[in-house]
Amino acid sequence: MPQLWACARGRDTAAGGILSYPLDRLHEEVAFIAVGLGWSYHEILALTHQERARWVRQVNRIHNRHNQWIAQPREEA
């Protein structure tokens, strides 16, 4: 019955998802991906929230691995 009510109110999709997303968080994600991958603003905004979050995690993993590598002591030749 809730699906029928949603259709009657003009919503033909199931409830759920993100109703609003904090704008400052969106800007932070866009900047992080743009710097990390060199993608454009429009390319990043074309991603779904889930895709964008996945790329943020991936860029973060790359940064963490890089930082760990930098922090390792090196033998002098």
In a domain, 61, yes or no: yes
Instruction: Measure the CA–CA gap between 53 and 8, rounded to whole angstroms.
Output: 33
Closest CA to 33 of 15, 20, 19, 47: 47
pLDDT confidence band for 17 (50 / 70 / 90)? low
Domain count, the chain: 1
Q: Note whether 44 and 34 are within 8 A (CB).
A: yes
The token pair that represents 18 in the structure block: 């993100």
| Any domain includes 25 | yes
Per-residue model confidence as pLDDT tens digits over 18-76: 567 889 999 999 999 999 999 999 999 999 999 999 999 999 999 999 999 989 888 77
**Domain presence at residue 67:** yes
**Residue written as token pair 């990390």:** 36
* Residue linked to tokens 């029928």: 4
